[in-house]
Amino acid sequence: MIEIMEPVLRTIAFAVIAYLLGSIPFAILVTRAKVGVDVRGSGSGHAGATNTMRAAGWVPGIIVLVADIGKGYLAVWLAARFGGTEAAPTVAAACVVIGHCWPIFAGFRGGMGMASGAGALLAVWPLGFVLALGLGSALQLLIKHSAKGNIVTGILLMPLWALFGANGTQLGVALAVGLVISGRALSDWNRVYRELWFDRE
């Protein structure tokens, strides 16, 4: 029994670590340091790289983008190597994106989860990361609305990976990331605001 429980407890521990990593609000921290405002008070109201670019400029936005991808990557990388069970990377992927979207360190008001989700995908399959980037960009250009594009991307991510031969762990991570991102984006389904990239008023 102890031998069974120990890997499960490690998976749970790395799920908590992943959530806490995801909860680090880089967009809020960087924007506050740069221009002294809460990034959630402008633009889309999201604590993410795009809104940071809008509120504080390109360089802070790129810093946030890299940091958010990094925390997603680190959470899943740690879980894959030390998490104890085959499910650990999938659970960690879900938790790091949940942490980014609903961060305990920022009043549960975060971003949309795309960058942290991208980092989680990159940690298990670099080719899959490229495929996801292509899928997301194509759908954003077609739909011209960030939230709706994110929802469709999240739904199609795992089937796309399956078509290109992803293994079980990779498919689990793709499913976890896709579901959380789609669920988060539903709250913005009817919102209309001017994004830097794709949205149109």
Q: What is the pTM of this model?
A: 0.92
Residue 192's pLDDT is: 64
In a domain, 14, yes or no: yes
pLDDT score recorded for residue 70: 98
The answer to whether position 10 is within a domain reads yes
Asked if the structure places residue 168 within a domain, the reply is yes
- Residues 61, 115 contacting (CB under 8 angstroms): no
Domain-embedded: residue 63: yes
* Domain total of the chain: 1
Q: From 190, 102, 110, select the one nearest 146 (Cα to Cα).
A: 190
Half-sphere exposure of 35 (CA within 13 A, CB side): 19
> 8: closest CA among 89, 95, 88?
88
Q: 83: domain range? A: 2-186
A 10 A CB-CB count for 186 gives 13
**pLDDT tens-place string over residues 55-75:** 899 999 999 999 999 999 999
What tokens does 180 get? 């959380």
Question: Is 73 part of any domain?
Answer: yes
In a domain, 193, yes or no: no
The answer to whether residue 32 is domain-embedded is yes
Q: Is residue 192 part of a domain?
A: no
Place 31 in a pLDDT band, splitting at 50, 70 and 90: very high
Whether pLDDT at 201 is above 50: no
Give the pLDDT of residue 193.
57
